[in-house]
Amino acid sequence: MTTLTAPVSVADLLISQRAYWATGATRDVDVRLDRLRALRAAIVGYQADIIDAVRQDLGRPEFEGYFEVGVISELDYIIKQLPRWVKPRKVSLPLSQQPGAAWVQPEPLGVALIIGPWNYPFQLIISPLMGAIAAGNCAILKPSELAPATSQVLARLIKTTFDPAHVALVEGGVETAQALLAEKFDHIFFTGGERVGQVVMQAAAQHLTPVTLELGGKSPCIVDANVDLEVAARRIIWGKFLNAGQTCVAPDYLLVDERIKDELVGALQQRLASCYGDDPAQSPDYARIVNDRQFDRLVSFLAQGHILAGGDQERSDRYLAPTLIDGVSWDDPVMQAEIFGPILPILTYRDLDEAITAINQRPKPLALYLFSRDRKTQSQVLARTSAGSVGINDVILQIAVWDMPFGGVGSSGIGNYHGRYSFDTFSNLKSVLKKPFWIDMDWRYPPYGDKVKLFRKLIGLS
């Protein structure tokens, strides 16, 4: 059975997976490809259940529900590229190491633990799983209990697709997570908030287990005066209010050139009405907040500032209208933590140096966005700020380029994944040097005598 809750079952399951991994079955590339294709077929087969589950958990419209199923785009890429990724990667040898050959040989780590979040509860547990399988590992999955409908669908999908000795899923809350983290894994992959990320890292440290932490942060969005306001507003509104703002790489706040603030606000207000109508509560295209706790946290942010659009709320439906606010300061609660909801503060700057300084005074974000036609401005922002990823003149889409790594920097995350980067994250990139017997220069062996002169030359000293 792949869905477990009792701590003793977690330990037994881990023993079972270690025994299976030790057989070497997961190292076979054909087995990996077979299991990845089986996973794809299962996702396609369960797509209606997945979309219905995220509707139950998050009020997600059908279109946005397909973002979960859309994980098969990355899966197809991995299936296509895997035969190339598993091959040894040749490297060149310096003159002092010749003759010989050297290469980097990827090998699986063993048994991985993957802990998923509630905001994209299917996609963000399946995506790292694909990398774990592709790299030849076993895996135990722990979906978020805050998205129970999706957790149940995941449990059924995993149970019907995998031998639990290879891939298993454990449902449960905090106690289940604690039981899992008390065990020794070969890698832990966690997606969630910074506070829980610290707990995961502390638990991993007890076993010296490597971790990948996909966290978050306040992703700034700079809007320069030299932009197409209509297109910028369209893209910002989509990215911010997708999934009711519950997206880790959503623009968290705007930093707008003060000369165009009023024009941009007008364009944003117009775009909100175009997307969600005069009463977004009635829109079939607008999601809901995941639970009452998150709802109450978000509503508390509205106590400061001036609401330019939205602000309406209904706790019984966990509805919070897409909201634009200004008049907030950097010290207000809404600017102290990642918002992770449908509230968009609008701040201004006088010159680019001011905007860059404001960003750099705060923790490094998961994403940074810049809207500007000016190449000099683009270059300055790229050179003088740090973020996990950057979008220029668009938002969010940078995370769906499978040849680029996705991850944070500093407090927004450790490590990265997607495409080959997922494969590498769940692999040990083993360095191998092979030398022949037919020649054996004596420059490194005692007695050294005057060999120091030769050695200095070999290492690049005159």
pLDDT at site 9: 81
**Residue 161 resides in a domain:** yes
β-strand pairing of 319-320 with 167-170: unpaired
Kindly report the number of other CB atoms within 10 A of residue 318's CB atom.
Answer: 20
CATH number for the domain that contains residue 329: 3.40.309.10
58 and 175 fall within a common domain: yes
Structurally, how many domains does the chain consist of?
2
Q: Which two tokens stand for residue 160?
A: 């019907």
Confidence of residue 441 (pLDDT cuts 50, 70, 90): confident
pLDDT at site 65: 96
Among 74, 183, 248, 338, the one annotated catalytic: 248
Q: Which residues form the domain of 250?
A: 220-407
Closest CA to 367 of 249, 235, 252, 240: 249
**Mean pLDDT value of segment 402-413:** 96
279 and 353 fall within a common domain: yes
328 and 346 fall within a common domain: yes
pLDDT at site 4: 47
233 and 139 fall within a common domain: no
**Mean pLDDT value of segment 252-269:** 97
CB-based burial label for 8 (10 Å; 0-12, 13-18, 19+): exposed
288 and 396 fall within a common domain: yes
pLDDT digits (tens, 9 = 90+) for 139-182: 999 999 999 999 999 999 999 999 999 999 999 999 999 999 99
389 and 423 fall within a common domain: no
pLDDT of 462 over the 90 cut = no
Active site annotation includes 138: no
pLDDT of 5 over the 80 cut = no
* pTM, entire model: 0.95
**Mean pLDDT value of segment 194-207:** 96
CA distance linking residue 365 with residue 120, whole number of Å: 19
The chain-wide mean pLDDT, for the chain, equals 95
**Residue 142 resides in a domain:** yes
Among 68, 183, 214, 338, the one annotated catalytic: 214
**Mean pLDDT value of segment 200-221:** 97
pLDDT at site 324: 98
pLDDT at site 426: 98
Confidence of residue 21 (pLDDT cuts 50, 70, 90): very high
Confidence of residue 8 (pLDDT cuts 50, 70, 90): very low
**Residue 41 resides in a domain:** yes
311 and 330 fall within a common domain: yes
**Residue 461 resides in a domain:** no
Closest CA to 75 of 328, 400, 326, 304: 400
**Mean pLDDT value of segment 274-301:** 97
Active site annotation includes 221: no
